[in-house]
Structure 1
C-alpha cells in the first residue's frame, strides 16, 4: 500500500508521499510542489491544470477556464452541469478530472501507484450546515474512490498543519493553529510535543476545532467591489435616480467560481438593457467589454495579485489599459482593510470561540502557528494575534504545511 496526503485547496493543491520515513511534497507542475486549483478545457484536447491552465486562458486560447473548484463543495451547484466545449459536465466531474491529473503527476514523480489517501478538509465546508458538510465530504470520498484510491480518510486541515509544526518542537506546547486558506479559515487548539508525536491515537491532544467560510477569495471579492467594479458601473445611478445598476453582474464578476455564468450570451443581452437605462452608459460599456471578451478571470487574477502586493505595500495600481487607454484602479492597504474589516472580525471571533470550546484562556497558549496565504495580510494577522497577544508567532510553510501534515497522518494511518 502506498499512501499520500492530499491538500485540495480553493486556490492551490499539494500532494505528499513518504520518502525515507519523511513527508515530501510531490512536484506537480515542473519544479513546483503547489499547483493552482484551476483547469482549462480546450476543444479536442486534454485539459490543462494549474499555471498552464491560467496561461492558456490569459494567452487567449479558445476554451473554458474554471478556478476555485472547491468552492462548490457542500452547495447545490455540485450536481449541476456546466458547458464544457460541446458537452455538459457536472461540477463533481470537473473536480474529478482535475484531481485525476494531480494523482497521475504525483505517481509519475514518486514512481509509485497511490492507493490510499488522507484528504484534507476544512472544519466546515459550509457555515451552519452539517448536512452540507457531510455531502461535501461524501463527494470527495466518491471522487477519490473513482480515481483508484482504495483507502480514503479525512483530517481537518488545521490539525494537519499542527502535525507539520510538531516536527520542529523540542518540548511540549499548547498551540493555536490558524490556517487562513483560499476559501475557509480554520483553527485548532492542540497539545504538541516530541513525546506525543509517536502516539497512535492523538484525539485527546486535539482540544477544539473551529472554522468559518472566509478566505482569500472573499478578500479578493471585497477588494474588487471596492476598487475595480465602480469603474465598470457598480453602484452607478440609473436614469431613474432612485435606482442603481443591478449588482448581481458585478458580484459574479468578482467571484472566481461564478464568473463563467456571465459568458452565456444571455447576460450580455441583459447588460445591454441595463446600459440603455443607465445614467452613465460609458461605465456599463466597460462591463460589456469585459464580459464579451471573457476577460473576467484575467481581471480577477489581477485583483488577486494587487491584494498580494498590498501585503507589503501601502498602495498599488491595477492597470486597465486593455480596457481603456489610461484607465487604472488605485488601491490602498488602508481602503482594503476598511472594505474587509468585517472578514477579519469574523476570523477573530471564530478564534475566540475555538479557545472557549477548548476550555483554555489566551494565556494558556504557548505559540500560534500560521499557515495559508491570507495570513500575510497585516490586518488578518493582527486579528489573529489579538486573540493570543502574549503567544509567540511561528510562520509555517504558507502553502505546504497542510499537505506535509496530511502526509504524516497518512504514514501513521496506512504505514
Structure 2
C-alpha cells in the first residue's frame, strides 16, 4: 500500500508534535528519541555552527556549551520581529529562518515515520495570533504557510487548535455532548464550544458542529513573564531608583530591560555591547547599585535563559504544591527566591480575569448557558496551573472535567483533520 504523504503538525510556543496515519490509525510520531513531543527550542552551538533542537538544545544550554538558545519563537509570528535579523556567530538569520529550522526538524520526523516525503500538512493555529488586529493575524498565518512551503510541504491547510483538540476528544465519547474545549498553551488561550458524538466522527463536514470559537493572546509564556517580574526582577533592580546624571533628580530605573529579560523570545535582544554599556552606566547612578550590578552580570554572562528556566520550573512545581524555590544559584551562590502559589496568583490576576471574560464571550456566542456544557476538555500545559483551571471551569458547573494529553491532543486532532482533508 502506498504510504500516506500527509501529517498534522502542531508547532507550539512551548512544545511541538507531529501526527501521521499509522498502522492502527492516526498517531503521534517519535520526534526526539522515543518522545512524541519536543520542546520548541533551538540552540546554535558556536563551536561548530550546528543547530540542536528540543531537549538536546536545553541540555546544551544548561551544561554551559557556548552558543545561543532560542525558545517561544511562535510568539514572534505577526509581530514586528518577524523579518528582523539576529546574528548567530558570523551569520545573520531572520526569525522566519529560525522557525523554518524547527518546522523542518518536525517534517523530518514525519518523513521518517511515513518512510516517504510528506508533502501535505494541516498546521495548527490559535484562534488569534494577534488580538484585535485581523491584518497582523493574517500576516502571521501567511508567514507560517510560507515557512512550511519552504521546508517542502506543497499542500498547506490550517485548523484552529481548539477544534483540533475537539476532534481528538471526540474519539473517546459514547454519546452526543456539548463540549467546551480549553486549549491554554504557551502563547495563547483558545476556547471552542463543539458538538461531539460517535456519529460526528464519521462526517467529513463539521462546520455545523462548531458553535463558537474565541481566543486571547495569553499563555504560559505570559505567566512566566509576569511571575518573573513579580518574584525575580526586583532582586535585579526592577522598581529601584537612580539619580539623573549631573543633577539631583531621582527617577525610577527603566522597566524595558526587565520586561525583555522576563520574556522568552526577547532575552537574546539584550545580549549586545550597547545594552551592557547602558547597564553599567545605570549602575553608576543607581541607588541600589548591587542589584543593577547583578543585572549587568546576568546580561554580560548571557544567563538570561537560566532565570527563565528557573522561573518556569518553579511555576510547574507550584501546580502541585503551595511553595517552591526559584533556584538562581547558576547566577550567584545562595541566590534562591521563595515563591508561593499565592504570589503566582497575584502575578497573573489580570490575565485570569481576561480568561474568564473570553470564556463568557465564547459561551454567549455559542448560544448555550454554562449549565448546558456536558464536558470541559482541558489541553495545553497551562491548564495544569490551579488558578487557570479554576478560572476555566467556574462557569460550567455541571460539566465533567476531562484532562486530555496536555501536549499531544492538538497534534493528534490535526492528524485526524489531515486524514479528512488529504486521506
Q: Could you say which TM-score interval applies, normalised by the shorter chain?
A: over 0.9
Decide which of 161, 165, 168 is 1:161's aligned counterpart.
165
Q: What aligned pairs does 1:304-315 form with structure 2 within 5 A after superposition? A: 304-315=312-323
The reply on whether 1:113 has 2:88 as its aligned counterpart is: no
C-alpha separation between the residues in 1 aligned to 2:304 and 2:111? Answer: 34
Alignment of 1:2-401 (within 5 A): 2-20=5-23, 22-43=25-46, 44-239=48-243, 242-401=250-409
**Worse-matched range after superposition: 296-305 or 100-109:** 100-109
Q: Following the alignment from structure 1 to structure 2, what is the Cα–Cα distance between the partners of residues 339 and 36?
A: 25
| SS class of match (2:124) | strand
Contact residue 6 and residue 119 of structure 2 kept, 8 A: yes
| Bigger Cα displacement from structure 2, 277-286 vs 242-251 | 242-251
Q: Deviations over 1:5-52 (max 9, x none)?
A: 000000000001011352111111111111111111123333111111
Give the Cα–Cα distance (whole angstroms) in 2 for the partners of residues 359 and 287 of structure 1. 51
SS at match of 2:394: helix
Structure 1: runs of 5 or more not aligned: none
Q: Does the 8 A contact of 1:26 with 1:110 survive in 2?
A: no
The Cα of 1:375 is off from its aligned counterpart by 0.5
Q: What SS does the corresponding residue of 2:10 show, helix, strand or coil?
A: strand
- TM-score, normalising length from structure 2? 0.96
Q: Is the 8 A contact 2:306 2:330 kept in 1?
A: no
Q: For 2:329, what is the secondary structure of its paired residue?
A: coil
Instruction: Check conservation: 1:42, 1:85, Cα contact below 8 A.
Output: no
For the Cα contact (< 8 Å) 2:303–2:331, is it kept in 1?
no
What is the CA–CA distance in structure 2 between the aligned matches of 1:304 and 1:278, rounded to whole Å?
Answer: 29
The 8 Å contact of residues 121 and 155 in structure 2, kept in 1 or not, is answered as: yes
Task: Say if 2:9 and 2:122, in contact at 8 Å, map to a contact too.
Answer: yes
Task: Say which SS state the counterpart of residue 356 (structure 1) adopts.
Answer: helix
Structure 2: gaps (5+ residues): none
TM (norm. structure 1) is 0.98
Shift of 1:299: 1.2
Conservation of the 8 A alpha-carbon contact between 2:5 and 2:114: no
- 8 Å contact 1:348–1:384 — kept in the other structure? yes
Conserved? CA contact 1:64–1:85, under 8 Å: no
Q: Deviations over 1:218-270 (max 9, x none)?
A: 10011111111111111012246742221111110000000001101110100
Equivalent pairs counted in the alignment come to: 415
CA separation in 2, counterparts of 1:122 and 1:210?
9
- The whole-number CA distance in structure 2 between the counterparts of 1:166 and 1:46 is 41
Residue 130 (structure 1) shift = 0.5
Secondary structure of the residue that 1:154 maps to in structure 2? strand
CA distance in 1, matches of 2:255, 2:365: 39
* Change in CA separation of 1:354 and 1:179 when aligned onto 2, cut-off 3 Å: same
- Deviation by residue 1:48-75 (Cα, 9 ceiling, x = unmatched): 1111111112222222211111011011
> 2: CA distance between counterparts of 1:46 and 1:292?
23
